[in-house]
């Protein structure tokens, strides 16, 4: 680094007015009705499944996006999927809810077109994080539905910043890229706050459960304090999921090819539901989910990039006690889900 660059890097950054940003964030529109209804859905009972179908059906824009996913090559359903009820059978209830929630949330915070923010990569990473957080939840005794939502919404503060102050967002995103740090890290180091503060305020503005706003806000605190946080277990799981989602994004949202046999990442067509089969059962896309040629050295090398040796993230991952094959299945599932985003986000 030459002297002029060193001087440039040492110059104090002009801090965005946090109070002004928060003031704009809390004036954002309310959460879309469809998204709010999907967030409030509870178990997979017959009544809940009927509500899920009705909520999606009553929102034409969400219906169109969900049917685009169901009719994509990923599922390859002969004859196509024509109705939301058919989509429920093909996708399963949790996948349908996840995709519908993403489709409903994406337009809620429209970001002006700019090089610093592209909606599709943002939502691909968010959906991958959501799937991973929910997948890890059982091992941490955390409810999978709240874990999924926390994973999906954990970074909405960045989206809110881009929506309410695009010029400020672009400026500081460029600085973060130049310094090769995350936007959150740049803000914490330079201004003493980060985008998770904005996310917490937006979650409160939208009337989301306190658990979600507390977790989003907690992400801005040192990870070593997670055990003292009221949602410490969920926070730890979410941080691990965020680390792997970042790796998935960096690798183009695919699992490294050398960690699987040729074609192992290619989904098999969804089998038609048997007569009387439960509508909330998830479709089987792999005839043998363990049919992967694991190379322990390669897998652990890739894991170490997401959760470096000695880091709090690595300790959190170890506490989940996941076998390598099970972790890889979670990663593949997250990558597959993230790959559907282009059909959900215009």
DSSP 152-184: HHTTHHHHHHHHH-HHHHHHHHHHHHHHTS-HH
Per the domain annotation, does 297 fall within a domain? Answer: no
pLDDT digit string (tens) for 265-291? 434 333 333 333 333 434 444 433 443
Per the domain annotation, does 212 fall within a domain? Answer: no
Helix (H, G, I), strand (E, B) or coil at 114: strand
Q: Residue 154: pLDDT above 90?
A: yes
Per the domain annotation, does 201 fall within a domain? Answer: no
Per the domain annotation, does 243 fall within a domain? Answer: no
pLDDT digit string (tens) for 191-234? 888 889 899 999 988 888 899 999 999 998 877 777 788 888 89
Per the domain annotation, does 298 fall within a domain? Answer: no
What's the helix, strand, coil split of the chain in %, to 5? 65, 0, 35
Q: Which residues contact 91 (CB under 8 A, 6 or more apart)?
A: 66, 69, 70, 75, 99, 283
Q: Residue 170: pLDDT above 80?
A: yes
Greater pLDDT, 223 or 167 = 167
Q: Residue 2: pLDDT above 60?
A: no
pLDDT average, residue stretch 6-32 = 68
- Pick from 167, 190, 170: which is nearest to 15 by CA? 190
**Tokens at residue 193, please?**
């706050």
Question: Residue 271: its pLDDT value, please?
Answer: 33
Question: Residue 25: its pLDDT value, please?
Answer: 86
Per the domain annotation, does 51 fall within a domain? Answer: yes
Rg of the chain in Å (alpha carbons) = 20
Q: Which of 67-71, 156-160, 289-293 has the lowest mean pLDDT?
A: 289-293
Per the domain annotation, does 102 fall within a domain? Answer: yes
Q: Where are the beta strands (DSSP E) in 106-264?
A: none
d(CA 245, CA 281): 25
Question: Residue 341: its pLDDT value, please?
Answer: 82
Range(s) of the domain holding residue 82: 32-108
Question: Residue 45: its pLDDT value, please?
Answer: 62
**Tokens at residue 126, please?**
């968010």
Q: How many CB atoms lie within 10 A of CB 254?
A: 15
Q: Residue 250: pLDDT above 80?
A: no
C-alpha distances in Å from residue 218, one per residue of 201, 221, 230, 235: 12, 5, 9, 7
Q: Give residue for tokens 């959501």.
A: 130
Number of domains forming the structure of the chain: 1
The mean pLDDT of the chain is 78
Per the domain annotation, does 75 fall within a domain? Answer: yes
Q: Is 14 exposed, middle or buried (0-12, 13-18, 19+ CB in 10 A)?
A: exposed
């Amino acid at each position: 680094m030459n002297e002029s660059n060193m001087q440039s890097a040492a110059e104090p950054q002009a801090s965005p007015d946090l109070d002004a940003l928060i003031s704009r964030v809390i004036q954002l529109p309310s959460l879309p009705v469809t998204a709010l209804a999907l967030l409030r859905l509870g178990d997979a009972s017959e009544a809940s499944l009927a509500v899920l179908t009705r909520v999606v059906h009553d929102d034409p824009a969400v219906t169109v996006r969900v049917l685009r996913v169901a009719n994509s090559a990923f599922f390859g359903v002969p004859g196509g999927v024509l109705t939301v009820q058919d989509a429920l059978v093909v996708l399963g209830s949790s996948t349908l809810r996840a995709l519908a929630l993403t489709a409903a949330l994406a337009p809620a915070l429209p970001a002006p077109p700019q090089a610093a923010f592209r909606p599709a990569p943002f939502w691909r990473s968010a959906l991958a994080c959501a799937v991973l957080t929910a997948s890890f939840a059982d091992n941490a005794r955390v409810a999978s539905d709240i874990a999924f939502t926390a994973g999906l919404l954990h970074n909405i503060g960045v989206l809110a910043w881009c929506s309410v102050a695009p010029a400020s967002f672009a400026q500081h995103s460029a600085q973060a890229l130049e310094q090769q740090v995350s936007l959150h890290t740049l803000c914490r180091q330079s201004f003493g706050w980060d985008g998770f503060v904005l996310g917490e305020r937006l979650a409160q503005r939208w009337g989301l459960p306190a658990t979600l706003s507390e977790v989003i806000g907690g992400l801005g605190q040192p990870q070593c304090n997670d055990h003292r946080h009221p949602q410490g277990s969920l926070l730890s799981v979410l941080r691990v999921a965020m680390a792997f989602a970042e790796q998935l994004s960096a690798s183009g949202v695919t699992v490294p090819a050398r960690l699987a046999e040729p074609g192992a990442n290619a989904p098999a067509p969804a089998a038609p539901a048997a007569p009387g089969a439960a509508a909330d059962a998830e479709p089987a896309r792999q005839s043998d989910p363990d049919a992967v040629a694991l190379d322990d050295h390669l897998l652990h090398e890739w894991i170490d990039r997401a959760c470096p040796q000695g880091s709090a993230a690595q300790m959190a991952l170890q506490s989940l006690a996941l076998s390598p094959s099970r972790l890889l299945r979670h990663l593949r599932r997250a990558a597959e889900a993230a790959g559907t985003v282009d059909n959900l986000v215009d």
